[in-house]
């Protein structure tokens, strides 16, 4: 049961990682269609007064978050393997 819950958490973290990876694409599509980029440019792309560092800050934040998700997934999978190996020990 514990291994199942860990694998469920891994699946959810994987979905979050895919969502994080899709954020820049969604922002660009919204900006190109005349939107605000989900708040990045409140007046649209033509009147965007954000400094050049805003995109870099967003990229760094998303990269760190994505690496954090990958690290958590690896740790949970290692824990699941250890629990599964312990439950299949052969006794004589």
Indicate the domain borders of the chain.
2-81
Q: Which helix (H) or strand (E) segment is 90 a member of?
A: none
Reported as a single tens digit per residue, the pLDDT across 27-81 is: 888 888 888 888 878 777 777 777 666 778 888 999 999 999 999 999 999 999 9
Q: Using only C-alpha atoms, what is the Rg of the chain?
A: 20
| Separation CA 74–CA 28 (nearest Å) | 30
Global pTM value = 0.72
Q: Which of 31, 24, 32 is nearest to 56 (CA)?
A: 24
């Amino acid at each position: 049961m514990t291994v199942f819950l860990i694998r469920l958490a891994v699946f959810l973290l994987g979905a979050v990682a895919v969502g994080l990876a899709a954020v820049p694409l969604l922002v660009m599509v919204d900006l190109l269609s005349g939107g605000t980029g989900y708040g990045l440019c409140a007046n649209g792309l033509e009147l965007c007064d954000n400094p050049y560092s805003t995109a870099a800050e967003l990229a760094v934040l998303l990269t760190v978050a994505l690496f954090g998700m990958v690290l958590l997934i690896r740790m949970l999978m290692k824990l699941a393997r250890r629990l599964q190996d312990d439950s299949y020990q052969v006794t004589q």
